[in-house]
Amino acid sequence: MNSPQLAILPERRGLLGRLADSLWRHPRLLLLLMLAPPVLWLGVIYLGSLVALLVQSFFSIDEFSGLINYEFTLKTYRELLIPANLDIIVRTVSMAAAVTLAAVIVAFPIAFYAARYARGKWKAAFYIGIMLPLWSSYLVKIYAWKLVLAREGILNWLFAKLHLTWLLDAYLSLPLIGGNSLSVSYTGTFLVFLYVWLPFMILPLQASLERVPGNLLEASADLGGSPGQTFRHVILPLALPGVIAGSIFTFSLTLGDYIIPQIIGSSRLFIGQAVYSHQGTAGNIPLAAAFAVVPIVIMGFYLWMAKRAGAFDAL
Amino acid sequence: MRSDQRAPLTLKIAAGAGLLFLHLPILLIFVYAFTTEERSYQWPPPGFTTKWLAVTWNRPDIWDALGLSVRVASISTLIALLLGTLCAAAVSRSRFFGREAISLMVILPIALPGIVTGIALRSAFNLSDIPFSTWTIILGHATFCVVVVYNNAVARFRRSSASLIEASMDLGADGFQTLRYVIMPNIATALLAGGMLAFALSFDEVIVTTFTAGQQQTLPIWMLEELVRPRQRPVTNVVAMVVVLVTFLPILGAFYLTRDTDQIAGSGK
Instruction: Give the CATH number, domain containing residue A84.
Output: 1.10.3720.10
Cα separation, A277 vs A285, whole angstroms: 10
- Answer yes or no: do A41 and A186 share one domain: no
pLDDT at B200: 86
Q: Which of A266, A83, A251 is nearest to A179 (CA)?
A: A266
Q: Which of A287, A260, A293 is nearest to A274 (CA)?
A: A287
Q: How many CB atoms lie within 10 A of CB A4?
A: 6
pLDDT at B4 over 60: no
Cβ neighbours of A153 in B, within 8 Å: 41-43
Q: What CATH number does the domain located at B59-258 have?
A: 1.10.3720.10
Cβ separation A140–B244 shorter than 8 A: yes
- Answer yes or no: do A126 and A260 share one domain: yes
Cβ neighbours of B228 in A, within 8 Å: 262-263
Cβ neighbours of A295 in B, within 8 Å: 112-113, 115-116
- Helix ranges (DSSP H) in chain B: 9-32, 51-57, 60-93, 99-111, 114-127, 134-159, 163-170, 175-178, 184-204, 207-212, 219-228, 233-258
Residues ≥6 apart with Cβ < 8 Å to B179? none
The answer to the question of residue A264 being in a domain is yes
Cβ neighbours of B207 in A, within 8 Å: 256-259
pLDDT at B162: 78
Cβ separation B41–A145 shorter than 8 A: no
Give the model's confidence band at A126: pLDDT under 50 very low, under 70 low, under 90 confident, else very high: confident
Arithmetic mean of pLDDT, A14-18: 78
Cβ separation A144–B26 shorter than 8 A: yes
Minimum CA–CA partner of A213 in chain B: B1
Flag the least confident range among A101-115, B211-225, B255-269: B255-269
Cβ neighbours of B11 in A, within 8 Å: 109, 112-113, 117
- Answer yes or no: do A31 and A135 share one domain: no
Cβ neighbours of A203 in B, within 8 Å: 267-268
Q: State the nearest Cα–Cα gap between A99 and chain B, in angstroms.
A: 15
| Burial classification of residue B44, based on how many CB atoms lie within 10 Å of its CB (0-12 exposed, 13-18 middle, 19 or more buried) | exposed
Cα separation, A141 vs A197, whole angstroms: 11
List the single residue in B32, B40, B123 with the smallest CB-CB distance to A53.
B123
Q: Helices B114-127 and A271-279, interaxial angle, to 10°?
A: 20
Q: What are phi and psi of B259, to 5 degrees?
A: -70, -25
List the single residue in B29, B106, B111 with the smallest CB-CB distance to A140.
B29
Q: Which of A165, A184, A171, A164 is nearest to A265 (CA)?
A: A184
Cα separation, B46 vs B39, whole angstroms: 12
Q: How many Cβ contacts (< 8 angstroms) between chains A and B?
A: 277
Cβ separation A258–B115 shorter than 8 A: yes
Give the model's confidence band at B33: pLDDT under 50 very low, under 70 low, under 90 confident, else very high: confident
Specify whether the CB–CB gap between A264 and A149 falls below 8 A: yes
Chain A 173-232, residues with CB within 8 Å of chain B CB atoms: 195, 198-200, 203, 207, 213-215, 218, 227
pLDDT at B269 over 60: no
C-alpha distances (whole Å) from A224 to each of A216, A221, A302, B4 are 13, 5, 37, 21
Flag the least confident range among A37-41, A70-74, A111-115: A70-74
The answer to the question of residue A61 being in a domain is no
The answer to the question of residue A62 being in a domain is no
Q: Which H, E and C letters describe B147-199, residue by residue?
A: HHHHHHHHHHHHHCCCHHHHHHHHCCCCHHHHHHHHHHHHHHHHHHHHHHHHH
Cβ neighbours of B95 in A, within 8 Å: none
Beta bridge partners of B48: B35
Q: State the nearest Cα–Cα gap between B252 and chain A, in angstroms.
A: 8
- Answer yes or no: do A123 and A236 share one domain: yes
pLDDT at A171 over 90: no
Domain hosting residue A17, numbered range: 4-47
Cα separation, B82 vs B89, whole angstroms: 11
Sign of CA dihedral A169, B20, A261, A91: positive
- Answer yes or no: do A135 and A27 share one domain: no
Most confident of A99-113, B143-157, B170-184: A99-113
- Answer yes or no: do A29 and A161 share one domain: no
Q: What is the pLDDT of residues B48-105, one digit of tens each?
A: 888 888 888 888 888 999 999 999 999 999 999 999 999 998 888 777 777 778 877 8
Residues ≥6 apart with Cβ < 8 Å to B72? B134, B137, B138, B141, B202, B218
Chain A 85-104, residues with CB within 8 Å of chain B CB atoms: none
Q: What is the pLDDT of residues A207-262, one digit of tens each?
A: 888 888 888 888 888 898 888 888 888 888 888 888 988 898 898 889 888 899 99
Minimum CA–CA partner of B249 in chain A: A132
- Answer yes or no: do A138 and A94 share one domain: yes
Give the H or E element holding residue A60: strand A60-61
pLDDT at B3: 43
A280 touches B at CB < 8 Å: no
Beta bridge partners of B35: B48
Q: What is the DSSP letter of A311?
A: G
List the single residue in B96, B122, B220 with the smallest CB-CB distance to A139.
B220
Arithmetic mean of pLDDT, B111-134: 85
* pTM of this structure: 0.85
C-alpha distances (whole Å) from A300 to each of A296, A304, B123 are 6, 6, 21
- Answer yes or no: do A229 and A119 share one domain: yes
List the single residue in B43, B174, B197 with the smallest CB-CB distance to A152.
B43
Beta bridge partners of A69: A60
The answer to the question of residue A59 being in a domain is no
How many folded domains does chain A comprise?
A: 2
Question: Is the preceding omega at residue B44 within 30 degrees of 0, hence cis?
Answer: yes
Give this complex's ipTM.
0.83
The answer to the question of residue A55 being in a domain is no
- Answer yes or no: do A15 and A155 share one domain: no
